[in-house]
Amino acid sequence: MVASSAFKVKRGQQHPRLFYHTLILLGVGSLFILFVTMVQPFYSVNLWLSDKLFMSEPPSPNIVVVGIDDDTLETHGRWASWPRSLHAQVINNLSKAGAKVIGFDILFPESTPDDEILAKAMIASGNVILSSVGTDPQPSTNTKTTYTHMISPTALLGQAAANTGHSNLINDPDGKVRRLPLVLQDSGGQTYPAFSLVVLHSLFSMPLPQQYFGQGGTIRLLDRDIPIDNSYWYRINFAPADTMRPYISFKDVISGDFDPLKVRGKIVLIGMVATGELDKWAVPTSSGKISGVFIHAAIVDNILRQQFVTEVGGTTSLNILLLIMIVTGFVLPRFGLRWGGVMVMVVFAGYLLASFITFEKGYILNLLYPLSILPIIYTSSSLTKNVAMAIENAKLNLKVVDGYKSTIRALAAAIDAKDHYTRGHSQRVTELALLGAKSLNVSQEELEILEYAGILHDIGKIGIPDNILGKPGRLTPEEFDTIRQHPRLGAIIITGVPFLEEARKLVLHHHERFDGNGYPDGLVGNDIPLGARLLAVADAFDSMTSDRAYRAAMSTEAAMNELYKHLGTQFCPVAVEAFVSGFKTHFIKSG
């Protein structure tokens, strides 16, 4: 029954600890979640982590890039000075080869004398898509991205084209392109679908919508639910490898020196790829910048094969963080640090694996914050346990110290009990010595040493015969010599007790005199430990103000005068002044 009761008490003590430990972890987790929700720190790092999920795969063979490359510029000169008849020749050759759609990721905003040649080629082909681009983005209360100006093809070319789409790309904060607006608008409210969307509508011979409405995180186009965010931005899947994309030099298309089967029935996207041109962009899957036409090819590829990726919303990320916080917050306090660490690593690895699995299904989970909260909560749990252990150890140490003090007080009381005239003497001497020490602002450690020494300063008297201790008259020289042994006897008694080692020195020397005529070693001046000098003053003062068998107690004033009378001979001046100052301060406050 006793063992059972003890067990119940121990368990009862554990419950509050677990509760407070859990509360601390949940509090740390909540602060972390609040911080990341409001501040979104290390946003670029989180983007970088999501980039690592992409694995290169072969692109669709149905999308071909025709690049205005270095060879083309070397053959035909600067692009700005080209006659547009060259573009007309390219359209004619691609049409003869059977290209299904021809998309120009090139701007034609200014009129030239041979625009009619280019326009006739476009009309004859009937499948040419041109580009426009927005400039000067402006804040808008509308969900769609808004640009102040749109740079569009000339009126003649615009009318000759099958359609026009915007080719705007937008950098993330780290300078990389990961998304583009599927639909944007100008300051007048006119909407512009993305170049890739227009190309695909032409491929499927589907008219462009008059209006674009997103719902539930998707927009229904081309018989597909295409994922978008609230601003109609599309997250690009960069899995199709650009280096494996079917490619033909613009120069070879002009001359007709290419395999027609390479473009027959396919989408052909034409763009600038020459070294040093401005249309170069950093993307997640390439160490260098790539040309914009390859990015648009990747988007067409995504939509054509419905290989979409979607960043999970803030609500989902928040719910994941809350779940991890709750699970770890409740489990870690009940696990040791070792098994808690194993659990955290399992959850860490499990979430990482889940991120890859969900990415395969087209969802990009937030990697940084859920994986960060795990070590943060584990570290907090470890610190909490260590702090709790330190507090418990401190409490245990206090109990041990209290036990020590109780034991030595009992020993001192046993000594005092041998002579009713000195009952309470050790405790009073201790308190008086501490008054002097505190007025000198000594450390807490020195106060504790002095307290132990004060309580035990007369413990050596346990070895002095009762007939000498209680003798009512004056002692004979032989008896006095016996009494003089009690400091050394006291020091011997407490030798070997580690926490009393420093106190032992004070016990040994508390009857030394400042002029060197004391005992047992005849130390002089500052060679006597300060604590021993304070004890000597306190011991003498208490003796003088207490009744003895051979005399009555002195008054406080008379005892003070005696201390000053023997200043510099029996007593240390510093110790006397400190004692008197501490004594008066204490009793003034008490009074």
Q: Does 36 lie in the same domain as 80?
A: no
Task: Single out the residue of 10, 36, 5 nearest to residue 367, CA to CA.
Answer: 36
Peptide bond into 284 cis (omega under 30): no
- Band of residue 339 on the pLDDT scale cut at 50, 70, 90: confident
Number of structural domains the chain divides into: 3
Q: How confident is the model at residue 228 (pLDDT cuts 50, 70, 90)?
A: very high
Report the pLDDT value the prediction gives residue 585, as an integer from 0 to 100.
Answer: 86
pLDDT of 84 reads 95
Residue pointed to by tokens 């040493």: 449
Instruction: For residue 553, give the 3-state DSSP assignment.
Output: coil
Write down the pTM of the prediction: 0.67
Q: How far apart are CA 62 and CA 301, in angstroms?
A: 9
Q: Give which of 563, 589, 588, 586 is closest to 437, Cα–Cα.
A: 586
Contact 170, 177 (CB under 8 A): yes
Contacts of residue 542, Cβ cutoff 8 Å, sequence gap at least 6: 425, 428, 429, 432
Over residues 560-565, the mean pLDDT reads 92
Residues 6+ apart with CB under 8 A from 590: none
Shared domain check, 305 and 319: no
Residues 43 and 82 in one domain: no
Position 574 in a domain: yes
Say if residue 13's pLDDT is above 70. no
- Give me the phi and psi of 145, to 5 degrees please: -65, 135
In 3D space, the residue among 78, 322, 348, 300 whose CA is nearest the CA of residue 202 turns out to be: 300
Using DSSP, state whether 297 is helix, strand or coil.
helix
Written as one letter, the residue type at 1 is M
Whether 302 and 446 map to the same domain: the answer is no
Q: Is residue 582 part of a domain?
A: yes
pLDDT digits (tens, 9 = 90+) for 516-525: 999 999 999 9
Residue at token pair 């020091």 = 491
253 inside domain: yes
As a whole number of angstroms, the distance between CA 532 and CA 511 comes to 8
Contacts 24+ apart (CB under 8 A), 473-478: 473/549, 473/550, 474/550
> 165 forms bridges with which residues in the sheet?
131
pLDDT at 190 exceeding the cut of 50: yes
**Predicted pLDDT at 427:** 87
The 3-state DSSP class for residue 523 equals coil
Give the HSE-up count for residue 382: Cα atoms under 13 Å, Cβ half-sphere.
12
- What is the C-alpha separation between 342 and 355, in angstroms, rounded? 20
Full residue range of the structural domain in which residue 75 is found: 63-311
- Taking only the tens place, the pLDDT of each residue in 419-473 is 555 668 888 999 999 999 999 988 999 998 999 899 888 888 888 887 887 777 7
| Alpha carbon distance 216, 26 (integer Å) | 32
- Residue 39 or residue 163, greater confidence: 163
Rg (CA), the chain: 46
Q: What percent of the chain has pLDDT over 90?
A: 55
Domain harbouring 433, CATH code: 1.10.3210.10
273 & 327 share domain: no
Same domain, 454 and 372: no
What pLDDT does residue 569 have? 94
State the number of CA atoms in the 13 A half-sphere of 379 facing the CB. Answer: 7
In a domain, 363, yes or no: no
Specify whether the CB–CB gap between 97 and 89 falls below 8 A. no
pLDDT at residue 9 tops 50: no
Q: Is residue 386 part of a domain?
A: no
Identify the band that residue 528 occupies on the pLDDT scale cut at 50, 70 and 90: very high
Strand blocks (E) in 236-312: 247-249, 267-272, 280-281, 290-291, 310-311
Q: What is the pLDDT of residues 77-134, one digit of tens each?
A: 998 889 999 999 999 999 999 999 999 999 999 999 999 999 999 999 999 999 999 9
Could you tell me if residue 394 is inside a domain? no
CB atoms within 10 A of CB 482: 16
Cα(553)–Cα(572) distance, integer angstroms: 23
For residues 202 and 326, state if they share a domain. Answer: no
Instruction: Dig out the tokens for 306 from the structure.
Output: 């419905």
CA 20 to each of CA 23, 25, 26, 321, 382: distance values in angstroms, whole numbers, following the listed order:
5, 9, 10, 21, 14
**For residue 380, what pLDDT band results from cuts at 50, 70 and 90?**
confident
Task: Look at the block and give the residue holding tokens 């309470």.
Answer: 424
Largest CA distance in the chain: 140
Instruction: Give yes or no for a contact between 458 and 414, defined as CB atoms under 8 angstroms apart.
Output: no
pLDDT at residue 6, as a whole number: 39
Instruction: Render pLDDT for 463-510 as a digit per residue (tens, 0 to 9).
Output: 888 788 777 777 888 888 888 999 999 899 888 878 788 999 999 999
Quote the CA–CA distance of 157 and 438 in Å, as a whole number.
Answer: 98
Q: Which of 243-247, 333-337, 463-467 has the highest mean pLDDT?
A: 243-247
Residue 161 lies in a domain: yes
- CA–chain centroid gap for 324, Å, is 16
Residues 292 and 325 grouped into a single domain: no
203/299 same-domain check = yes
Rounded Cα gap, residues 537 and 563, in angstroms: 7
In whole angstroms, how far apart are CA 256 and each of 245, 264, 267? 20, 14, 18
Q: Return the percentage of the chain with pLDDT > 70, whole number.
A: 92
* pLDDT above 80 for 567: yes
Distance CA 222, CA 234 (A): 15
Confidence (pLDDT) at 189: 87
Section 573-580 average pLDDT = 93
Same domain, 39 and 92: no
Q: What is the mean pLDDT of the chain?
A: 88
Mean pLDDT, range 274-285, rounded to an integer: 90
Structural domain contains residue 276: yes
pLDDT tens, position by position, 201-219 = 999 999 999 899 988 889 9
pLDDT at 264 over 90: yes
Residue 247 in tokens: 């490619």
Q: Quote the pLDDT of residue 550.
A: 62
What does the block give as tokens for 34? 């609040």
Q: What is the pLDDT of residue 415?
A: 65
Domain boundary pick from 377, 406, 429: 377
Q: What is the pLDDT of residues 353-379, one digit of tens each?
A: 999 999 989 999 998 899 899 999 888
Q: Is the pLDDT of residue 1 over 60?
A: no
Judge if 294 and 327 occupy the same domain: no
Residues 26 and 123 placed together within one structural domain of the fold: no
**pLDDT value, residue 2:** 37
